[in-house]
Amino acid sequence: MKKKITAIEVNPEHIDFSFYFEDDGLTNIGGENCAVYIIPPDRRHYRGFNMDEYERIEEQAEAIIEGFDDIKNGYKDYYNSYKEVMENNEIIYNSRKCSLLKKWSENANINDTECIAEFLTIITGEEWSVKSFTGYSQGDYCEIMYCEKHYSKEHLIEIGKFWLGCGTEFCIDDCYGYYVTDDIRWTEDGRLVKHLADLYGCKPEELEVHLYKGEHKVVDYELLAI
């Protein structure tokens, strides 16, 4: 009989989800507009994901708002046209994009993630959205901004849950890093085994899954010989 592949759940104390977020596919390194931005509720105490780039987008949006406002009010100390404002802020000009930015800038608030998502939709030509996630403890909250072209609903839920620690990790065939969301981990049907098999690249019947149930200390004694 062929020996089964062993999948062992990792002790929760030893799980580090930061390895999940080292994937270049979650940043713009992997391709145009493929980054996700994870924004925490309190930026002073909690750092999000891809935040340096997100803050640059905020700065770009703010520059457009201020530049368009100056042109609208007849102030031409820095720019002479809407086109010049856009091109100076690294946005390729066309009349439709300019018209959309004009309308957007009238009531724009760069502290609103939905507003920044709308800004990205205009300048990239692809639809951007925001979804919020909550964890198990009070204050466990984040917003994720993403391009709909690159992320399915299932993938986005996975990202949000792992960021908030709502998941677990398995070691399969002595290799760590097989992450599973809690809603799959705690099912009593065959979903967990099938999911792990899909991650590893084998058939469910080839996998033997061991769930973590806790640890205990074993005390050894030796008889004193006199």
Instruction: Tell me the average pLDDT across 127-136.
Output: 96
Torsional sign, CA 79, 81, 85, 90? negative
Determine phi and psi for 8, rounding to 5 degrees.
-120, 125
Chain mean pLDDT for the chain: 93
Give the CA radius of gyration of the chain.
25
User: Stretch 136-155: mean pLDDT, rounded?
Assistant: 92
pLDDT score recorded for residue 37: 96
pTM of the entire predicted model: 0.86
- In DSSP terms, 129 is beta-bridged to 146
Does any domain span residue 21? Answer: no
Beta bridge partners of 9: 170
Higher pLDDT, 112 or 34: 112
Q: Is residue 225 part of a domain?
A: no
Please report which confidence band the pLDDT of residue 226 belongs to, taking 50, 70 and 90 as the band edges. Answer: confident
Residues 42-61 have pLDDT tens digits of: 887 788 999 999 999 999 99
Q: Which tens digits make up the pLDDT trace of 88-102? A: 999 999 999 999 999
CB burial readout 115-150, b (16+ within 10 A) else e: bbbbbbbbbeeeebbbbebeeeeeeebbbbbbbeeb
Mean pLDDT within 140-145 = 95
Nearest Cα residue to 142 out of 162, 172, 123, 126: 162
Assigned domain for 107 exists:
yes
Number of domains in the chain: 1
Q: How confident is the model at residue 67 (pLDDT cuts 50, 70, 90)?
A: very high
Classify residue 207: in a domain, yes or no. no
62, 109 in Cβ contact below 8 A?
Answer: no
Burial of residue 27 (CB within 10 Å: 0-12, 13-18, 19+) is middle
Q: Is the per-residue pLDDT at 7 higher than 90? A: yes
The reply to whether 199 falls in a domain is no
- Decide if pLDDT at 138 tops 90: no
37 and 54 in contact (C-beta within 8 Å)? yes
pLDDT at 110: 95
Q: Does 4 reside within a domain?
A: no
pLDDT of residue 3: 87
pLDDT value, residue 169:
97
Average pLDDT for 180-185: 96
Query: 50 lies in which domain range?
Result: 35-149
Give pLDDT tens digits for 194-205: 999 999 999 999
Asked whether residue 164 is assigned to any structural domain, the reply reads no
pLDDT at 31 over 80: no
State how far the Cα of 72 lies from the Cα of 87, in Å rounded to an integer. Answer: 17
Beta strands in the chain (DSSP E): 5-9, 37-39, 128-134, 141-147, 167-172, 175-181, 207-210
In a domain, 11, yes or no: no
